[in-house]
Amino acid sequence: MNIGFVGLGIMGSAMAANLLKADFRVTVWNRSPDAYRLLEAGGAKVAGTPRAVAEVSEILFAMMATPAAVESVRDGAEGIIAGLRTGSGYVDMSTVDAETSRESSRLSHAAGGLFLEAPVAGSRKPAEDAALTIMAAGDRVLYDSSLPALEKMGRKILFLGETGNAARMKLANNLVMGGMLTALCEGLALASGSGLDTAQLLEILDSGAVSNPMFRLKGPLIAAGTEFPAAFPLKHMQKDLRLALRLADEIGQPLFATAAVNELYKSALAKGLGDEDFAAVCRVVRP
């Protein structure tokens, strides 16, 4: 199968590498040439534009950071849609709002193609290990045909129905993750500030009802006050919280805790922490 991949950031580069390892024929594009050097050395072909990737692909996967970034590679004379042909597929794995996904679906169908939104839960390490959770929605026939490739990128894959459902599900997932990480930061700050051993707090948390992989991974780094490798940049978490709050406004759902958490992440952005891992929000909780 001829696969395309557009967007080779922290997540996309690892996901495309796993497709190469699975012996798919992969053509890639990224704004920065540095991002595709290793993939090219591993056998990937490099195209000059997103359109050129779409023109040679049966299924094109894209992984972009924001709705605006999706539009920048999707639209225009050299965009993905311009390169779609009858029956080819466009799978957008970006975390965006439902409106962006529905517009991608409309444009894909108008070009004679198929569309699937497939945002993922997971960061750098799960992407590298092909252990992502993939939430898919849209054209079922494209889901079925892309499943062999999705299975090389994710460990758990769910089909959620019509376009927009996966985008909304991903935002619900990430607001929980952002809130949990913030609670961990505050708990560690309280323990440390009152003279307690933060390692013991982490041990207690890990032995009880709130034990989870994120706390085990990020807790020791937060407690130690070390640098945070950007597995999931803080600016992207704030974007997801913002989109979740906008969705909540649209349906009339109060999100009291998420609104407060979002303000904390906005403060972290203002302090220049946007490109660091989202765990760096601890530096606002306890400077």
- Residue numbers annotated as active site: 170
Q: Helix, strand, or coil here: 216?
A: helix
Angle between helices 213-224 and 165-193 (to 10 degrees): 40
Count how many residues are written for the chain. 287
How far apart (Å, rounded) are the C-alpha atoms in residues 279 and 229? 9
Cα angle 130, 107, 12; round to 5: 20
Residue pair 13/6 in contact (Cβ under 8 Å)? The answer is no
How far apart (Å, rounded) are the C-alpha atoms in residues 95 and 132? 14
Backbone dihedral angles phi then psi of residue 26, each to the nearest 5 degrees: -115, 130
How far apart (Å, rounded) are the C-alpha atoms in residues 73 and 66? 11
Antiparallel, parallel or unpaired: β 132-138 and 120-121: antiparallel
Residue pair 119/232 in contact (Cβ under 8 Å)? The answer is no
Instruction: Name every residue whose Cβ is closer than 8 Å to that of residue 10 and which is 6 or more positions away in sequence.
Output: 123, 124, 127, 230, 231, 232, 233
Q: Pick from 284, 263, 245, 242: which is nearest to 68 by CA?
A: 242
| One-letter identity of residue 42 | G
How far apart (Å, rounded) are the C-alpha atoms in residues 258 and 224? 26
Residue 219: burial class (beta carbons within 10 Å; 0-12, 13-18, 19+):
buried
Antiparallel, parallel or unpaired: β 154-159 and 132-138: parallel
